[in-house]
Copies of this chain bind each other. A is one copy, B any other.
């Protein structure tokens, strides 16, 4: 149990009331936190050093101590400005509590449940056998002789290795990825989009989708003029976007999703945001996340058309983050790719709107986050700019080959006449079925709690419920930060405050994943309910 001790306006320290050491929470504003005061604890190396014998060059001691070159004062201010709540202070604190539990500390709970990040395997989801078979075969080709690996997996592994230098995934690939894999991806997109053409030379393998998103933004955000480049992002958003914008010192242009309307994207709001931004920057790019993260909505075809028409008219580069394209649960919803909708709008659009769309191995039914696999399809990019992008990618050499191989399996899964088809289908629908059930369950239980309102989780992997809490519930921090911190301390449940994603002023939310196993999720949601009622009671009394 912790008692909160406010220290300064936006910093605080949690003091343990049981036998654990005090744990600290670095504030969002970079206020020095407690553990930093104890270098001998932090740097055991130095402790040991002090007892070791070392040759000290004569006459070099007893001088003024050397100043550090890199301090908070000299640190790149753009780095300082970055915030990333999904792995932010709450999560750091969850790690501290976890360590405390491991060391035998007492808590009102026996484990920390990390519902902060879309990390399916960490929540117990099993890997898709076929994917792992193919990657294992690529990794250790001696397994090609093993009768326990199916021929369809071996066939795919052989084909991937044929595309690798020296037939080894230990060689660098071309910076855009292995050619065979790029071709498989293009074929997959054509099939997904019912015949809309995809050119494999428009496909770039990436180190997860984040890497691709950063690459495209880096082309668009112009050096010294960066503070003039506007990047339109949804609010709430996945904080990679705001972090990238901070790091590149671009201008974040917020368009708000309509919470009252299932987090729909309203075209009028796009116009409003764009008009307002034009006063102080040049909006050059619009980012869309569909299905939404953290908001879980699935965009309608009509809405996508409107966005693309808007981008066409306003000369915006379109970045469509479609990493949850396989995660659609609501029977009323369907995933429409931006590319396909653009095609259906006719050649004037399809041959002109600059569009980069992103996919990943980390989500969907595979959840292979650790492989850091992904791709982007980039259409209508100026050919010379494409050359420049390839040059930029080549400096990082290439995306990891095992991630590329994993991506290949996703776009080239077992077919109906292949040996592994049945098991693959069964595993895939088991994962997606469970997610759909958990999406429904989460929405239902959260909406049963007075003071919590949750839009339908139509897709993706998160609920982003609105929590109605007394505005005076702050103790020197954002009310939703306090809420999530207390939730963590009292129940061991780790979720991320809505402020990390952005929300309308005066509204509060949190993001939680729907990934824990069903029974654990039910238990978790029950605890959230009890906590919420208690929190409300405690802080209503203050008002």
A-to-B contact residues, CB < 8 Å = 26, 30, 32-33, 36, 39, 42-46, 48-50, 52, 54-57, 60-61, 63, 65-72, 74-80, 82-84, 86-88, 95, 114, 117, 119-125, 127, 132-133, 135-136, 139-140, 143, 146, 148, 164-166, 168-175, 195, 197-199, 201-202, 207-208, 210-211, 218-224, 240, 243-244, 247, 249, 284-285, 312, 315-317, 343-348, 350-354, 366-372, 379-385, 387-389, 391-392, 394-403
Contact = CB atoms under 8 A, between A and B. Distances in A.
Closest 8 A/B residue pairs (Cβ): A122-B165, A370-B401, A45-B197, A56-B346, A136-B140, A121-B168, A87-B394, A122-B171
A384 B30 contact: yes
Given A372-B207, A403-B400, A348 B61 contact: yes
A366 B402 CA distance: 16
Q: What's the number of copies of this chain in the assembled complex?
A: 2
B74 A397 contact: no
Contact of A395 (B71, B140, B244): B244
Given A121-B170, A370-B401, A388-B30, A396 B211 contact: yes
Given A351-B46, A372-B399, A316 B69 contact: yes
26 contacts: A42-B199, A43-B202, A45-B199, A54-B346, A57-B346, A66-B315, A69-B354, A70-B382, A72-B385, A74-B222, A76-B220, A77-B223, A82-B391, A82-B392, A83-B391, A84-B395, A87-B397, A119-B172, A121-B170, A122-B164, A132-B139, A136-B140, A243-B395, A372-B399, A372-B400, A372-B401
A392 to B, nearest CB: 6
A164 to B, nearest CB: 7
Nearest to A318: B69
B222 A56 contact: no
Contacts of A82: 391-392, 395
A207 B400 contact: yes
Given A140-B136, A244-B395, A400-B400, A69 B315 contact: yes
Nearest to A72: B384
B46 A369 contact: no
Contact of A285 (B69, B121, B382, B395): B69
A123 B353 contact: no
A79 B173 contact: no
B139 A143 contact: no
Contact of A370 (B78, B351, B400): B400
